[in-house]
Amino acid sequence: MHKAELYSYHDGRVYCNLCNHSCVLRDGQRGRCRVRINRGGELYSMVYGQIVAENVDPVEKKPLFHLLPGTRTFSLSTRGCNFRCLHCQNASISQVEKDADPTHLCKMYSPQDIVDGAVQSGCKTISYTYVEPTVFYEFAVDCAELALAEGVRNIFVSNGYMSEAAVRRLAPLTFGINIDCKAFSDDFYKKICGARLQPVLDSIELYMQLGVWVEVTTLLIPGLNDSKAELRDLSRFLVSISPDIPWHVTAFHPSYKLTTVPSTPLSTLDLARDIGLEAGLRYVYAGNIPGSGREDTICYVCGTTLIERHGFSILANNLQNGRCGQCLADIAGRWV
């Protein structure tokens, strides 16, 4: 047990202020994430340092295409999540049953262990990922502060459902974030994820305002979130914040509780990519189908291929100090 942050206590209950579920917990009750608990009027994290997954990944896997391309990132996760996505690809670690032990199959790490692992493996960054990292917020903050002190930067891969207070605490520690905008429909969020759309949109906008590098991913699920109208509305929203936000439209494959829904066809990815570019986004990437050529970074001014990719591998990088080598246009990103 580790004392949590971002909560208050009154009227005999704990009020969690970490994410936009705003759970109100009686003594002994856990939040919707299943890994935060009210013990005697104080909120505790049950997963501080309890790591269930760690790996050295290419940063492109997050996916982040405009942040230190070709480098490696030290990825880690506890168990737990504040969403209940029917298509979750990491349900075995994200979905903790109501009274289950959230430390099952975990190994205890200190923040120093995490930073040492990143440094020793030659990683430029640490990624808090695999499940929603907000649920292990206190451990992530401690790791992130120590990492910065030792010259390692921090990446979050998030559903964007954290509270404004959490965003403002995390932003100074965060070099880049990929936020899943799972759909542009509140109905989708309620039925498929057990959440709401607006807090996600607010997080995208606030992280941008606070100077964090933001990329957005939308997994396109046939018949659920891939209509032209919805893709157009989502694209326009992103453009209204910044045309420089890279948008990753990725292919769904049947998983967890959505095993009867077919995989996303390449034609749908192409449609979404075209819609995003027509709306004014400068960088739209179609993913989960390696080798299609739809993951290359193209200069939005002259059309030159700047970074050629195959899956998570960089085949060629023709950027010159963040500029197009052909026309010298500035290409938005965090390149160094």
pLDDT number for residue 287: 85
- Rounded distance, CA 68 to CA 317, Å? 11
State which H helix or E strand residue 217 sits in. Answer: strand 213-220
| 8-state DSSP, 325 | T
User: In angstroms, rounded to a whole number, what is the distance separating the alpha carbons of residues 248 and 269?
Assistant: 10
pLDDT at 291: 66
Tell me, what DSSP letter sits at residue 258?
B
Residue whose token pair is 């990519």: 273
At residue 288, the pLDDT reads 81
Domain boundaries, the chain: 2-45, 50-296
Going residue by residue through the chain, which has 336 residues, state the pLDDT in tens, using 9 for 90 and above: 999 999 999 988 999 999 999 999 999 999 999 999 999 999 999 999 999 999 999 999 999 999 999 999 999 999 999 999 999 999 999 999 988 999 999 999 999 999 999 999 999 999 999 999 999 999 999 999 999 999 999 999 999 999 999 999 999 999 999 999 999 999 999 999 999 999 999 999 999 999 999 999 999 999 999 999 999 999 999 999 999 999 999 999 999 999 999 999 999 999 999 999 999 999 999 988 766 679 999 999 999 999 999 989 999 999 999 999 999 999 999 999
125, 74 contact by CB (below 8 A): yes
Kindly report the pTM of this predicted structure. 0.97
Chain centre distance of CA 134: 10
Q: Establish whether the linkage from the previous residue to 133 is cis, with ω within 30° of 0.
A: no
Question: According to the model, what pLDDT value does residue 78 have?
Answer: 98
The torsion angles phi and psi of 59, rounded to 5 degrees, stand at -60, -25
Query: Cα–Cα distances in Å, from 169 out to 162, 208, 261, 322?
Result: 11, 14, 39, 29
Report which secondary-structure segment, H or E, holds 149. Answer: helix 137-149
User: From CA 275, how far away is CA 234, in angstroms rounded?
Assistant: 10
DSSP string, 291-317: TSSTT-EE-TTT--EEEEEETTEEEEE
**What CATH number should be reported for the domain whose range is 50-296?**
3.20.20.70
* 13 contacts: CB under 8 Å, gap ≥ 6: 24, 25, 26, 38
